[in-house]
Structure 1
Amino acid sequence: MAAKILLLEDDINLSELVEEFLIDEGYEISLVNDAEAALNLAYEKHFDLWILDVKVPLGDGFSLLKELRQAGKNTPAIFLTSLNTASDLKEGFDAGCDDYIRKPFELVELALRVESILKRSFAHKNENYEDLGDNYKFSLSSQILYKDDKALTLPSKEIKLLSLLLKHKNRFVSVKQIFEELWDYDEEPSELSLRAYVKNLRKILGKDSIINQRGRGYCYDRG
C-alpha cells in the first residue's frame, strides 16, 4: 500500500514538480497551497507524512505544525523552506518537525529524506509494545518508554531496570540479578541507587506497579 503524503506548497511550479516526482516514486499525494487547507485535511484524513512549506498563505508552516502537535497529531513532518538561519532551524524543530530541507533542493535529496522518515515511522509502528496503562507503553526492542506516543527520556539504568522487570513480568527478579544487569563490571552496585530508580519508575507508572519483597527482589505487577 502506497504511503500517503500531505504536501503543502504554494509555489505552483514547485508544488506540481514535487507532486509529480513523489507520485512517480510510488507515493499517494494530497496537494494543498495554504495553511488552512492543510490543517483541515490533516484533521480529516490519515497521512504517513506531512511535507510543509513554511511561508504559505493563511498562516505559516511552523504555526500549523505546532497546532497539530498540540492536538496530539504525531504524523512525521518535513519542512521545506528558504529560511536558513540557526534560529529558523531551531523554530522548526521546536514546532515538532522531524526533518528540515532548505530550498533550493534536489528532488533526489527529498526522496531520500522521505524514504528515511517513512522507514523509521513504519518500524516504530511495527514494534512490539508492553502496554503499561495510562497511555504508557514500552518497546523492549528499542528500549524506549512512550507516553501518548511521545518518547520519554529516562536515565539508562532506569530503562534497563524497567526492561528487565518487564521481561520477567509478574515474577520476582533478585537484587543480585538486577545488580548484574544494571551495573558494569567496573562499577560498584548500590542498593540506595536501585531504590531511587524504583521510586522514580513508580512515580511514572504508579506506586503499586513495582513491588518488592525482602529476599525475593522486585517484581513488575499490573495484576
Structure 2
Amino acid sequence: MKILLMEDDLLLNEIIEEHLQSKGYDVVSAYSGDEAQDIVYSQTFDLLLLDVNVPNINGFDLLEDLRDKDIKTAAIFITSANMMDDIEKGFKSGCDDYIKKPFELKELDLRIENIKRLYNISPSSHIQIADNILLDKDNLLINKNNERIHIAQKECDVLAYLIKNKNKPVSIDELSLNIWAYEEAPIASTIRTYIKNLRKIIGDEYILNIRGVGYRFNS
C-alpha cells in the first residue's frame, strides 16, 4: 500500500512515517500543499494522509482540487482543525475520514484498515478475479486456467484500478488521472487498447463497456 503523507511538522511527520513503514507501507512525505500536489500528479497512491494547515495550499483546498480533477484516491485528514465547521468542510472537500490531533498511532492504524476494507486494497500482490483467474501484480501475470499470461505494467495498473472500484463506472479520464503521471497522460485510444487486451484475456463479462460513461468491472 502506497501512502502520501502531507504534514509540515517535521517531528510528527517523521514519527508517522516511521510507524507506517514499520507496518510495511510505502510512504512518500510532503511538507507543503504545492509539494503534495506535484507528487500526486506524478505518482499513484492508495491513500492520502493530509494535514490541513500547511504552507501554500491547505489540505482542504488541495483535496477539493484533486476531487474536481476526478482523482478519487482515498483521503484521511489528520489535523488540529477540529471544530465542527472544520470537520464539515473536510468531508465536503471529499475526505473519507477525519482524525483529530492529538491521536494515538493505533487509531491511525484502525482508520487505515477501514479504508483498505472500503476500497478493497489488498496487502497481497495477488488478486483473485475468479476461481480460475488470478492477477499477480508483482510479476505482471494473469494466471487463467493454470496458463501464465504476461501483461504490460499499465495493463496491470488499469485492471487493478477497475477491480478496486468494482461495480462502479470508471471513465477514461478517471483512469488517466489516477494511473498515469499527470504530464504523461495517454490518449483515450491507448487506454481502450489496454482494456481490449485485458478483455481478451480474462473475458468480456468481467470488464463491461458502459456506453457514454466508460467501463465497469463486474465482480
* TM class by smaller structure: 0.5 to 0.7
Identity of aligned residues (%): 44
Could you say which residue in structure 1 is the equivalent of 2:74?
76
Q: Could you tell me how far apart the structure 2 residues matched to 1:84 and 1:104 are?
A: 10
Aligned to 1:48: 46
CA distance in 1, matches of 2:96, 2:26: 20
Code of the aligned partner of 2:7: E
The residue that corresponds to 2:166 in the other structure is: 127
5+ residue gaps, structure 1, are: 142-223
Q: TM-score, normalised by structure 1?
A: 0.58
* Alignment partners' CA distance in 2, 1:83 and 1:126: 30
Alpha-carbon deviation of 1:59? 1.6
Residues of 2 paired with 1:15 and 1:49: CA distance? 16
**Higher RCO structure (Cα 8 Å, ≥6 apart):** 2
Q: What is the root-mean-square deviation in Å for CA atoms of aligned residues?
A: 1.9
Correspondence list, 1:59-208, <5 A: 59-122=57-120, 125=164, 127=166, 130-135=208-213
Secondary structure at 1:122's aligned position in 2? coil
Cα distance in 2 between the residues matched to 1:117 and 1:55: 23
Residues 173-204 of structure 1 deviation map (CA, whole Å, 9 limit, x = unaligned): xxxxxxxxxxxxxxxxxxxxxxxxxxxxxxxx
Aligned equivalents of 2:210 and 2:109: distance in 1?
37
Structure 1 position 84, deviation (Å): 1.4
- Residues 132-141 or 69-78, more deviating: 132-141
Range 127-136 or range 17-26, more displaced: 127-136
Number of residue equivalences:
139
CA–CA distance in structure 2, aligned partners of residues 138 and 11 of structure 1: 41
* Offset of residue 137 of structure 1: 5.4
Contact 2:45 2:73 (C-alpha < 8 Å) held by counterparts:
yes
